[in-house]
Amino acid sequence: MCGIVGYVGRQQPNGKPLEVVMEGLRRLEYRGYDSAGVALVGRDGVLVTAKKAGKLVNLADELDARPLPGATAAIGHTRWATHGAPTDVNAHPHVAGKIAVIHNGIVENFAVLKAELLADGATFLSETDTEVVAQLLARAYARLGDLSEAMCAVAQRLEGTFTLLAVHADVPDVVVGARHDSPLVVGLGDGENFMGSDVAAFIAHTRRALELGQDQVVTLTPDSVTVTDFTGAPAQGRAFTVDWDAAAAEKGGYRSFMDKEIDDQPQAVADTLLGRTGLDGALVLDEVRIDESLLRSIDKIVVIACGTAAYAGHVAKYAIEHWCRIPVEVELAHEFRYRDPVVNEKTLVVAISQSGETMDTLMAVRHAREQGSKVLAIVNTHGSTIPRESDAVLYTHAGPEIAVASTKAFLSQITAAYLLGLYLAQLRGNKFPDEIAELLGQLRAMPAKIQTVLDGAEHVREVARSMRDTPSVLFLGRHVGFPVALEGALKLKELAYIHAEGFAAGELKHGPIALIEEGQAVFVIVPSPRGRDSLHSKVISNIQEIRARGAHTLVIAEEGDDAVLPFADEVFRIPQCPTLMSPLLAVVPLQLFACELATAKGLDVDQPRNLAKSVTVE
């Protein structure tokens, strides 16, 4: 959801705070892009703001036309609207007296608080819950004379989720933040300090960071960082070093972040595999700090995740059940806790999330732990909330994923979940060491094979361009190809805004085949002819059935699988590989297709409409 940046510095040129904040917003724009704004405070005790509806470029144009004075402290915000339409007035910051506030999240009791403030004579310019917070803070500051204490007092009154940053004209060397169920990370500089929704906000300036705990207030001056809880009692952050640099968060010559991130995938998978084996070749997952005897005794795994991350979990289910003989359920995180799931201390819950901040997944993690389950998180973003609230974490090493639609995170999530499956198989004795070594070898061969698929990208792109006016595309897959089909459909929906649906190929005859008419485009992910039983021939029959009814068939099949040729209008080849490894290849043409078709339609593939990268509200 919204992106937040804060900066305070000692010996900076006066223009630096605005520069830092605008650059941070540029890197965070993927979090929300329906309006943006900044507030600056200078030593002369002047508070100024600028805010604009629309993408960040509108704010940048406004700042060019109406330059702001120099400053010592600055806060900035890029919004994904919850309360109030995305207009200039509703954009953050919101000002009350000498205070400016920005906010990520939703204040659920804002109506009650607003009524109280109205009765006290307050007037409001916007429809937002955030302006209520600004008014409360102004009153608390007037009473307490200290911005941090005022923030503590207000934070205790708010219900819902929030990250708040505030500046006050009377204290130009101070930025105060607070967080409750919403992300905030501190960047540690030299004579300057930073805050951001994630480390991308300040990665160009420092890689030293401080992870904050739940319900904490943090006060930055150029030379100090003070953390307390909401009562003002001292608290500690956890220092960490960000393991990627600013270049990783740049487009690097690509026309979009999504194009770059699709191309990053061989590296993302290789990095996720790196350093996971000991000297004897056995799999070592140091981060899995859950007691081994407990892992041996679990009788069920439940994967909780949303969207693409859930499809990664769905792929992993096939592998983990096959390797470990443990039942695996995959549950959308937002459904999980509302249906009274049967989980207990014998259940291992695996939470998968790129951002580590998805509120639905976080709430499901909390619910699982309340039921006595251990939670292992598979997460990409260091310093995020889900790993901190889980019993163990397995980081994917995909690097920053900036495009809103997930690509390299998906492949690295499957990779990490497979590592977990192999680790459990090793621990529980389901596989012999040489079998584990062979499967690890298969995984290690995947980056080169993914590269081979990428080398053939132009064919997919050509076909995608030729189909730019297609109104609807269906996706069929079977076994591990089924979640890949679902992911292919999701990518096309969110990037190209066209109807797209994924089905299990075996389900076709139970209903979806009624959708097939002359010219209906259908992707079919064909299982390996060397794979399970007769799956290959069953899917070939499916292609025949839909082709006979007029479908335009786009077939993803292994090199050398000539059985598909008579029934395919287009064939996209992937290298031969074991069945369980194939999702890491088969999804790549689907990502390329969606990205190219959306680009051909003139759409912004990095920032699709109505979406935000990190969904921090329920």
Q: Which residues are catalytic?
A: 2, 613
Is residue 617 within 8 Å of 106, Cβ to Cβ? Answer: yes
**Residue 607 near ligand F6R by CB under 6 A:** no
Q: Are 95 and 51 in contact, with CB atoms under 8 Å apart?
A: no
For residues 542 and 485, give the distance between their C-alpha atoms in angstroms, rounded to a whole number: 14
- DSSP 8-state assignment for residue 514: G
Which of the ranges 75-83, 93-101, 302-310, 463-471 carries the binding residues for ligand F6R, by CB under 6 A? 302-310
Minimum CB distance to ligand F6R smaller for 183 or for 222: 183
Residues 360-379 that bind ligand F6R (CB under 6 A): 361
12 or 353, CB closer to ligand F6R?
353
Q: Which stretch binds ligand F6R (CB under 6 A): 119-127, 261-269, 306-314, 582-590?
A: 306-314
Question: Minimum CB separation from ligand F6R for residue 275, in Å?
Answer: 23
Cβ distance to ligand F6R smaller for residue 473 or 557: 473
Segment near ligand F6R (CB under 6 A); pick from 19-27, 175-183, 305-313, 562-570: 305-313
527 with 574: CB under 8 angstroms?
Answer: no
Among 148, 354, 373, 415, binds ligand F6R (CB under 6 A): 354
At closest approach, how far in Å is the CB of 416 from ligand F6R? 12
Which string of DSSP letters, residue by residue, matches 194-218?
EEESSGGGTTTT-SEEEE--SSEEE
- DSSP letter at 48 equals E
Task: Judge residue 502's burial from the number of C-beta atoms within 10 Å of its C-beta, 0-12 exposed, 13-18 middle, 19 or more buried.
Answer: buried
**Residue range at the interface with ligand F6R (CB under 6 A); choices 92-100, 124-132, 347-355, 370-378:** 347-355
Kindly tell me which of 216 and 384 has the beta carbon lying closer to ligand F6R.
384
Segment interacting with ligand F6R (CB under 6 A) among 82-90, 117-125, 350-358, 432-440:
350-358
**What residue has token string 């014998």?**
346
**Alpha carbon distance 105, 273 (integer Å):** 35
Q: Kindly list the strands in the beta sheet with 160-168, ordered across the sheet, starting from the edge strand earlier in the chain.
A: 94-96, 99-107, 160-168, 175-180, 216-220, 225-229
- What is the closest distance, in whole angstroms, from the C-beta atom of residue 85 to ligand F6R in the complex? 23
Minimum CB distance to ligand F6R smaller for 221 or for 380 = 380
E strands along 391-480, which residues? 392-395, 472-477
Question: 399 or 527: whose CB is closer to ligand F6R?
Answer: 399
496 binds ligand F6R (CB under 6 A): no
Q: What is the DSSP letter of 407?
A: S
Decide: is 308 part of the binding site for ligand F6R (CB under 6 A): yes
Which of 309, 436, 564, 568: binder of ligand F6R (CB under 6 A)? Answer: 309
Q: Are 502 and 489 in contact (CB under 8 A)?
A: yes
Cα angle for residues 484, 489, 492 (degrees, 5° grid): 125
Q: How far is the CB of 188 from ligand F6R (least distance, A)?
A: 25
Please tell me the count of residues contacting ligand F6R according to CB under 6 A.
15
- CA-CA distance, 354 to 351, in Å (whole number)? 10
Residue 386, SS3 per DSSP: helix
Beta carbon of residue 584, minimum distance to ligand F6R (angstroms, whole number) = 17
Among candidate residues 324, 316, 280, the one with its CA nearest the CA of residue 299: 324
Q: Which residue is nearest to ligand F6R (CB)?
A: 307
- Positive or negative: CA dihedral 398, 402, 403, 406: positive
Report in angstroms how near the CB of residue 350 gets to ligand F6R at its nearest: 13
Interface residue with ligand F6R among 163, 353, 579, 599 (CB under 6 A) is 353
- For residues 343 and 587, which CB has a smaller minimum distance to ligand F6R in the complex? 587
Query: Does the protein bind ligand F6R through residue 358 (CB under 6 A)?
Result: yes
Minimum CB separation from ligand F6R for residue 358, in Å?
Answer: 3
8 Å CB contact between 166 and 176: yes
In the set 113, 137, 154, 306, which binds ligand F6R (CB under 6 A)?
306
Name every residue whose Cβ is closer than 8 Å to that of residue 259 and which is 6 or more positions away in sequence: 595, 605
- Rounded least distance, CB 354 to ligand F6R, Å: 3
Among 494, 561, 570, 596, binds ligand F6R (CB under 6 A): 494
Specify the residue, 404 or 508, whose C-beta has the smaller distance to ligand F6R: 404
Residue 419: its H or E element: helix 408-427
In whole angstroms, how close is the CB of 337 to ligand F6R at the nearest point? Answer: 15
Among 135, 256, 355, 396, binds ligand F6R (CB under 6 A): 355
Residue choice 564, 594, 615, 617 for contact with ligand F6R (CB under 6 A): 615
Judged by beta carbon, residue 149 or residue 494, the one nearer ligand F6R is 494
**Residues comprising the chain, all counted:** 618
Contact region for ligand F6R (CB under 6 A) — 204-212, 230-238, 307-315, 434-442? 307-315
Q: Within 385-424, which residues bind ligand F6R (CB under 6 A)? A: 405-406
Other CB atoms within 10 A of residue 534 CB: 11
Name the residue with tokens 């499956």: 421
- Angle (CA) 198-595-575 rounded to 5° is 105
CA–CA–CA angle 420, 393, 398 (5° rounding): 80
Transcribe 90-147 into DSSP letters. Answer: TSSPEEETTEEEEEEEEETTHHHHHHHHHHTT---SSS-HHHHHHHHHHHHHHHHS-H
Least distance (Å) between residue 163 CB and ligand F6R: 16
| Residue with smaller CB distance to ligand F6R, 130 or 384 | 384
- Which region among 48-56, 132-140, 352-360, 427-435 touches ligand F6R (by CB under 6 A)? 352-360
Binding-site ranges for ligand F6R (CB under 6 A): 306-309, 353-355, 358, 361, 405-406, 490, 494, 614-615
